Amino acid sequence: MSKYALFLGCTTPVKVPQYELASRWVCEYFGIELIDVEEFTCCGINQVNLRVEAGLLMAAMNLALAEAKGLDILTLCAACTGALAEAIEKLKDETIRNSVNEKLRDSGLEYKGKTKVRHISRVLYEEIGTEKIKREIKKDLSALRVAPHYGCHYLRPKSAFENFEEPDNPRTLHGLISATGAQPVGYEALNLCCGGKVSPVSEDLSRALVQKKLDNLANKEVDAMVLQCQTCYLMYSDQQKEVNKEYGNQYNLPVILYPQLLGLALGANPVKDLALNLHNISPETILSKVI
Protein backbone atom coordinates (compact mmCIF):
# COMPACT_ATOMS: atom_id res chain seq x y z
CA MET A 1 0.00 0.00 0.00
CA SER A 2 0.94 3.63 0.00
CA LYS A 3 3.64 5.24 2.07
CA TYR A 4 3.88 8.88 3.18
CA ALA A 5 6.08 11.16 5.23
CA LEU A 6 3.81 12.23 8.10
CA PHE A 7 3.83 16.00 8.50
CA LEU A 8 2.50 16.67 12.00
CA GLY A 9 2.83 20.47 11.92
CA CYS A 10 3.26 22.61 15.03
CA THR A 11 -0.03 22.37 16.88
CA THR A 12 -1.33 18.81 16.56
CA PRO A 13 1.52 16.98 18.31
CA VAL A 14 1.60 19.32 21.31
CA LYS A 15 -1.96 20.63 21.70
CA VAL A 16 -4.26 18.16 19.96
CA PRO A 17 -2.40 14.82 20.14
CA GLN A 18 -5.73 12.96 19.96
CA TYR A 19 -5.84 13.97 16.27
CA GLU A 20 -2.40 12.44 15.71
CA LEU A 21 -3.30 9.28 17.62
CA ALA A 22 -6.55 8.72 15.72
CA SER A 23 -4.90 9.51 12.38
CA ARG A 24 -2.13 7.00 12.99
CA TRP A 25 -4.72 4.39 13.99
CA VAL A 26 -6.86 4.96 10.89
CA CYS A 27 -3.86 4.92 8.55
CA GLU A 28 -2.61 1.71 10.05
CA TYR A 29 -6.06 0.18 9.67
CA PHE A 30 -6.04 0.90 5.93
CA GLY A 31 -2.38 0.00 5.40
CA ILE A 32 -1.18 3.54 4.79
CA GLU A 33 2.39 3.55 6.04
CA LEU A 34 3.46 6.75 7.81
CA ILE A 35 7.14 7.61 8.08
CA ASP A 36 8.19 10.08 10.78
CA VAL A 37 10.73 12.63 9.55
CA GLU A 38 12.31 14.06 12.65
CA GLU A 39 13.81 17.10 10.96
CA PHE A 40 10.44 18.44 9.79
CA THR A 41 9.72 21.88 11.26
CA CYS A 42 6.94 24.47 11.01
CA CYS A 43 5.58 24.73 7.44
CA GLY A 44 6.21 28.49 7.38
CA ILE A 45 2.61 29.62 6.87
CA ASN A 46 2.70 32.37 9.49
CA GLN A 47 6.20 33.52 8.61
CA VAL A 48 4.89 34.86 5.31
CA ASN A 49 3.33 37.64 7.38
CA LEU A 50 6.78 39.03 8.08
CA ARG A 51 8.81 37.70 5.12
CA VAL A 52 7.24 35.83 2.25
CA GLU A 53 10.68 34.45 1.34
CA ALA A 54 11.13 32.95 4.81
CA GLY A 55 7.81 31.12 4.62
CA LEU A 56 8.66 29.76 1.19
CA LEU A 57 12.09 28.59 2.34
CA MET A 58 10.62 26.76 5.31
CA ALA A 59 8.05 25.01 3.13
CA ALA A 60 10.74 24.16 0.56
CA MET A 61 13.04 22.78 3.25
CA ASN A 62 10.31 20.44 4.50
CA LEU A 63 9.45 19.36 0.97
CA ALA A 64 13.14 18.71 0.28
CA LEU A 65 13.44 16.56 3.42
CA ALA A 66 10.58 14.34 2.24
CA GLU A 67 11.91 14.29 -1.31
CA ALA A 68 15.30 13.06 -0.05
CA LYS A 69 13.44 10.02 1.26
CA GLY A 70 11.52 9.61 -1.98
CA LEU A 71 8.20 10.27 -0.22
CA ASP A 72 5.10 12.38 -0.69
CA ILE A 73 3.79 14.19 2.37
CA LEU A 74 0.61 13.39 4.30
CA THR A 75 -0.65 16.31 6.40
CA LEU A 76 -3.17 16.56 9.23
CA CYS A 77 -3.42 20.35 9.44
CA ALA A 78 -5.33 22.18 6.74
CA ALA A 79 -3.01 25.19 6.99
CA CYS A 80 0.17 23.13 6.52
CA THR A 81 -1.53 21.50 3.53
CA GLY A 82 -2.22 24.89 1.99
CA ALA A 83 1.21 26.30 2.77
CA LEU A 84 3.04 23.32 1.29
CA ALA A 85 0.74 23.08 -1.73
CA GLU A 86 1.14 26.79 -2.45
CA ALA A 87 4.92 26.46 -2.15
CA ILE A 88 4.86 23.57 -4.62
CA GLU A 89 2.94 25.83 -7.03
CA LYS A 90 5.45 28.65 -6.66
CA LEU A 91 8.43 26.33 -6.95
CA LYS A 92 7.26 25.15 -10.37
CA ASP A 93 8.82 28.42 -11.59
CA GLU A 94 12.41 27.53 -12.40
CA THR A 95 13.85 30.91 -11.42
CA ILE A 96 12.19 30.79 -8.01
CA ARG A 97 13.12 27.13 -7.50
CA ASN A 98 16.77 27.76 -8.38
CA SER A 99 17.00 30.70 -6.02
CA VAL A 100 15.41 28.70 -3.19
CA ASN A 101 17.62 25.69 -3.83
CA GLU A 102 20.66 27.90 -3.72
CA LYS A 103 19.76 28.72 -0.13
CA LEU A 104 19.02 25.08 0.73
CA ARG A 105 22.29 23.81 -0.77
CA ASP A 106 24.49 24.64 2.27
CA SER A 107 22.31 22.31 4.28
CA GLY A 108 22.62 19.53 1.74
CA LEU A 109 19.04 19.90 0.56
CA GLU A 110 17.34 20.39 -2.79
CA TYR A 111 13.71 20.37 -3.88
CA LYS A 112 13.32 19.17 -7.46
CA GLY A 113 9.54 19.36 -7.53
CA LYS A 114 8.80 15.67 -7.12
CA THR A 115 7.31 15.53 -3.62
CA LYS A 116 3.62 16.37 -3.43
CA VAL A 117 1.39 17.01 -0.45
CA ARG A 118 -1.96 15.44 0.45
CA HIS A 119 -4.17 15.96 3.47
CA ILE A 120 -5.19 12.77 5.28
CA SER A 121 -8.84 13.24 4.26
CA ARG A 122 -7.85 13.52 0.63
CA VAL A 123 -5.77 10.36 0.89
CA LEU A 124 -8.71 8.54 2.47
CA TYR A 125 -11.10 9.89 -0.16
CA GLU A 126 -8.94 9.32 -3.22
CA GLU A 127 -6.85 6.29 -2.33
CA ILE A 128 -9.06 4.27 -0.03
CA GLY A 129 -12.36 5.58 -1.33
CA THR A 130 -15.76 5.85 0.31
CA GLU A 131 -16.93 2.48 -1.03
CA LYS A 132 -14.09 0.60 0.64
CA ILE A 133 -14.61 2.58 3.84
CA LYS A 134 -18.32 1.64 3.83
CA ARG A 135 -17.46 -2.05 3.52
CA GLU A 136 -15.26 -1.86 6.62
CA ILE A 137 -17.78 -0.21 8.97
CA LYS A 138 -18.38 -2.21 12.16
CA LYS A 139 -20.58 0.13 14.22
CA ASP A 140 -23.88 1.80 13.49
CA LEU A 141 -23.50 5.59 13.46
CA SER A 142 -26.72 6.34 11.62
CA ALA A 143 -28.26 8.18 14.59
CA LEU A 144 -25.47 10.76 14.54
CA ARG A 145 -26.08 14.14 12.93
CA VAL A 146 -22.82 16.01 12.45
CA ALA A 147 -21.79 19.33 10.92
CA PRO A 148 -18.76 19.10 8.64
CA HIS A 149 -16.19 21.90 8.67
CA TYR A 150 -13.49 21.74 6.01
CA GLY A 151 -10.81 24.26 7.00
CA CYS A 152 -9.99 27.02 4.50
CA HIS A 153 -6.54 25.85 3.50
CA TYR A 154 -7.84 22.38 2.69
CA LEU A 155 -9.80 24.04 -0.12
CA ARG A 156 -8.17 27.29 -1.14
CA PRO A 157 -6.55 28.42 -3.29
CA LYS A 158 -8.11 25.84 -5.56
CA SER A 159 -5.27 26.16 -8.07
CA ALA A 160 -2.84 24.63 -5.54
CA PHE A 161 -4.97 21.47 -5.22
CA GLU A 162 -5.34 20.36 -8.84
CA ASN A 163 -8.96 21.58 -8.59
CA PHE A 164 -9.93 18.44 -6.65
CA GLU A 165 -12.59 20.35 -4.68
CA GLU A 166 -14.99 23.16 -5.51
CA PRO A 167 -14.23 25.53 -2.61
CA ASP A 168 -17.72 27.08 -2.53
CA ASN A 169 -19.38 23.69 -2.64
CA PRO A 170 -16.98 21.17 -1.11
CA ARG A 171 -17.96 17.48 -1.02
CA THR A 172 -15.12 15.25 0.18
CA LEU A 173 -15.70 15.54 3.93
CA HIS A 174 -19.44 15.12 3.39
CA GLY A 175 -18.69 11.91 1.49
CA LEU A 176 -16.25 10.67 4.12
CA ILE A 177 -18.79 11.32 6.89
CA SER A 178 -21.57 9.56 4.98
CA ALA A 179 -19.25 6.59 4.49
CA THR A 180 -19.09 6.10 8.27
CA GLY A 181 -22.89 5.95 8.40
CA ALA A 182 -23.26 9.28 10.23
CA GLN A 183 -25.36 12.02 8.63
CA PRO A 184 -23.59 15.17 7.43
CA VAL A 185 -25.91 18.09 8.15
CA GLY A 186 -26.21 21.02 5.76
CA TYR A 187 -25.90 24.57 7.11
CA GLU A 188 -25.50 28.04 5.67
CA ALA A 189 -22.17 28.88 7.32
CA LEU A 190 -20.43 25.75 6.02
CA ASN A 191 -17.65 27.76 4.39
CA LEU A 192 -17.15 30.24 7.21
CA CYS A 193 -13.51 30.44 8.33
CA CYS A 194 -12.65 29.52 11.96
CA GLY A 195 -10.59 32.69 12.38
CA GLY A 196 -7.60 30.79 13.75
CA LYS A 197 -5.07 32.74 11.73
CA VAL A 198 -6.29 36.11 12.96
CA SER A 199 -6.57 35.06 16.59
CA PRO A 200 -2.94 35.90 17.56
CA VAL A 201 -3.58 39.48 16.39
CA SER A 202 -7.24 39.93 17.33
CA GLU A 203 -9.16 37.51 19.50
CA ASP A 204 -12.25 39.68 19.12
CA LEU A 205 -12.33 39.06 15.39
CA SER A 206 -11.65 35.34 15.62
CA ARG A 207 -14.31 34.89 18.29
CA ALA A 208 -16.81 36.81 16.19
CA LEU A 209 -16.30 34.23 13.44
CA VAL A 210 -16.60 31.30 15.86
CA GLN A 211 -19.78 32.81 17.29
CA LYS A 212 -21.32 33.15 13.83
CA LYS A 213 -20.79 29.51 13.02
CA LEU A 214 -21.98 28.20 16.39
CA ASP A 215 -25.02 30.47 16.16
CA ASN A 216 -25.84 29.08 12.73
CA LEU A 217 -25.55 25.53 14.06
CA ALA A 218 -27.67 26.20 17.15
CA ASN A 219 -31.00 25.26 15.52
CA LYS A 220 -29.71 22.47 13.32
CA GLU A 221 -29.95 19.70 15.92
CA VAL A 222 -26.41 18.51 15.38
CA ASP A 223 -24.64 16.17 17.79
CA ALA A 224 -21.16 17.38 16.94
CA MET A 225 -18.92 19.24 14.54
CA VAL A 226 -16.52 17.08 12.54
CA LEU A 227 -13.29 18.79 11.54
CA GLN A 228 -10.09 18.00 9.71
CA CYS A 229 -7.72 20.60 11.12
CA GLN A 230 -6.46 21.07 14.67
CA THR A 231 -6.47 24.87 14.46
CA CYS A 232 -10.15 24.86 13.56
CA TYR A 233 -10.57 22.37 16.40
CA LEU A 234 -8.98 24.69 18.95
CA MET A 235 -11.16 27.55 17.75
CA TYR A 236 -14.48 25.72 17.96
CA SER A 237 -13.70 23.58 20.97
CA ASP A 238 -11.37 25.48 23.30
CA GLN A 239 -12.73 28.88 22.30
CA GLN A 240 -16.36 27.79 22.65
CA LYS A 241 -16.38 28.59 26.37
CA GLU A 242 -14.83 32.02 25.79
CA VAL A 243 -17.33 32.77 23.06
CA ASN A 244 -20.15 31.68 25.38
CA LYS A 245 -18.91 34.12 27.98
CA GLU A 246 -18.52 36.98 25.55
CA TYR A 247 -21.80 36.50 23.69
CA GLY A 248 -23.91 35.08 26.52
CA ASN A 249 -24.43 31.67 24.88
CA GLN A 250 -24.93 28.28 26.46
CA TYR A 251 -23.39 26.26 23.63
CA ASN A 252 -22.02 22.87 24.53
CA LEU A 253 -21.37 21.39 21.11
CA PRO A 254 -18.84 18.56 20.98
CA VAL A 255 -16.13 18.92 18.37
CA ILE A 256 -14.15 15.97 17.03
CA LEU A 257 -11.68 15.27 14.24
CA TYR A 258 -12.69 13.13 11.26
CA PRO A 259 -10.26 10.25 11.97
CA GLN A 260 -11.91 9.94 15.39
CA LEU A 261 -15.36 9.59 13.79
CA LEU A 262 -14.02 7.09 11.28
CA GLY A 263 -12.20 5.22 14.04
CA LEU A 264 -15.42 4.93 16.04
CA ALA A 265 -17.20 3.46 13.02
CA LEU A 266 -14.36 1.01 12.44
CA GLY A 267 -14.59 -0.26 16.01
CA ALA A 268 -11.55 1.48 17.50
CA ASN A 269 -11.34 1.90 21.26
CA PRO A 270 -12.62 5.44 21.98
CA VAL A 271 -10.01 6.07 24.69
CA LYS A 272 -6.99 3.95 23.86
CA ASP A 273 -7.05 4.44 20.08
CA LEU A 274 -8.81 7.79 19.64
CA ALA A 275 -8.25 9.62 22.95
CA LEU A 276 -11.82 10.93 22.92
CA ASN A 277 -11.41 11.43 26.67
CA LEU A 278 -9.08 14.39 26.06
CA HIS A 279 -11.73 16.75 24.74
CA ASN A 280 -12.76 19.88 26.62
CA ILE A 281 -16.35 19.39 25.61
CA SER A 282 -17.35 15.84 26.44
CA PRO A 283 -18.23 13.78 23.38
CA GLU A 284 -20.45 11.55 25.55
CA THR A 285 -23.53 12.36 23.43
CA ILE A 286 -21.67 11.08 20.39
CA LEU A 287 -20.57 7.87 22.08
CA SER A 288 -24.10 7.21 23.35
CA LYS A 289 -25.34 7.17 19.75
CA VAL A 290 -22.74 4.70 18.49
CA ILE A 291 -24.30 1.26 18.47
Partner 1 sequence: MDEVKKMVSTSELDPGFKSDVLAHPDARGLNACFSCGACSAGCPIHEVFPDYSPKKLAKMVRLGMKKEVLNSPYIWYCATCCNCVEHCPQNVKFFDILNVLKNMAAKGGYAPAAWVEQTKHVMETGIVFAQEDSWVKKREVLSLRPLKEYVDKMRKIVEKTGIDKIKPRVNSK
User: Distance between CA 289 and CA 264 in Å, rounded?
Assistant: 11
Give yes or no for residue 11 binding partner 1 (CB under 8 A). yes
Q: Which of 70, 129, 200, 267 binds partner 1 (CB under 8 A)?
A: 200
* 20 or 223: CB nearest partner 1: 20
21, 84, 173, 276: which one binds partner 1 (CB under 8 A): 21
Indicate whether 41 belongs to the interface with partner 1 (CB under 8 A).
yes
Q: What angle, rounded to 10 degrees, do the helices at 17-29 and 258-265 form?
A: 50
Residues with Cβ within 8 Å of 238's Cβ and at least 6 positions away in sequence, in order, are 280
> Which residue stretch of 129-137, 194-202, 256-264, 282-290 sits at the interface with partner 1 (rule: CB under 8 A)?
194-202
Binding footprint of partner 1, residue count (CB under 8 A): 59
Told to check if 42 binds partner 1 by CB under 8 A, we report yes
Alpha carbon of 111 to those of 12, 70, 98, 276: distances in Å? 25, 11, 9, 38
Cis amide prior to 200 (ω within 30 degrees): no
Helix, strand, coil shares of the chain, percent, nearest 5, are 50, 10, 40
Cα distance between residue 208 and residue 174, in whole Å: 25
Q: Are the CB atoms for 265 and 138 separated by under 8 Å?
A: yes
x-or-dash string of contact with partner 1, 228-247, rule CB under 8 A: --------------------
Of 179, 268, 275, 276, the one binding partner 1 (CB under 8 A) is 275
| Contact residues for partner 1, defined by CB under 8 A | 9-11, 13-15, 17-18, 20-21, 24, 36, 38-39, 41-42, 45-54, 57-58, 61, 79, 82, 103-104, 106-107, 109, 152-153, 156-158, 167-168, 191-193, 195-198, 200-202, 205-206, 208-209, 212, 275
